[in-house]
């Protein structure tokens, strides 16, 4: 089964989702990401979904759950790059993703994480 790569940048992790997500691949990512956070003591995670043409309630919930799990492991998550059409559809669908921080792109997401670490 294909896996989504997780890149390390200091104590931050970057996940770029480039494929049309199978449910199993998405769940594998959740396992891999939480394991990696614990292994390196990551303080922040950027999840780049700019290549995703669709986020349904399953994938939306998975992203929100992953963010909650990361928080319990003392890492903050920023979801970046959501396409406008995806945002419109998600809200109409009723998936609000409460508690998930977002930024327009990877650069802004990284800056947000670095900033919030300085404030700690």
Partner 1 sequence: MTSGTMPLRSEQDIVSARQAVRKWCVELGFSLVDQTKMVTAASELARNTLIYGGGGEMVWSHGSQPGRRALTLTFADEGPGIPDLDLALTDRWTSGNGLGLGLSGARRLVQEFDIDTTPGAGTRVTISRWK
Q: Which is nearer to partner 1, 85 or 114 (CB)?
A: 85
HSE toward the beta carbon, residue 48, CA cutoff 13 A:
19
Contact residue for partner 1 among 18, 24, 68, 105 (CB under 8 A): 24
DSSP codes, 24-67: HHHHHHHHHHHHHHHHHT--EEEEE-TT-S---HHHHHHHHHHH
- Chain positions 55 to 114 lying near partner 1, rule: CB under 8 A, are 55-58, 60-61, 83-86, 88-89, 92-95
* CB of residue 61 to partner 1, shortest distance in Å: 5
Give the span between the Cα atoms of 53 and 75, in whole angstroms: 27
* CB of residue 16 to partner 1, shortest distance in Å: 19
List of residues contacting partner 1 (CB under 8 A): 20, 22-24, 53-58, 60-61, 83-86, 88-89, 92-95
């Amino acid at each position: 089964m294909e896996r989504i790569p997780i890149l390390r940048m200091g104590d931050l992790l970057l996940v770029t989702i480039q494929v049309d997500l199978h449910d199993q691949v998405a769940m594998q990512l959740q396992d891999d990401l939480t394991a990696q956070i614990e292994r390196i003591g990551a303080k922040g995670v950027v999840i780049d979904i700019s290549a995703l043409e669709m986020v349904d309630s399953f994938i939306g919930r998975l992203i929100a759950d992953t963010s909650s799990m990361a928080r319990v492991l003392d890492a903050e998550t920023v979801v970046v790059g959501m396409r406008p059409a995806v945002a419109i559809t998600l809200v109409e669908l009723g998936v609000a993703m409460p508690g998930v921080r977002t930024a327009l792109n990877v650069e802004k997401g990284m800056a947000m994480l670095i900033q919030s670490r300085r404030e700690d």
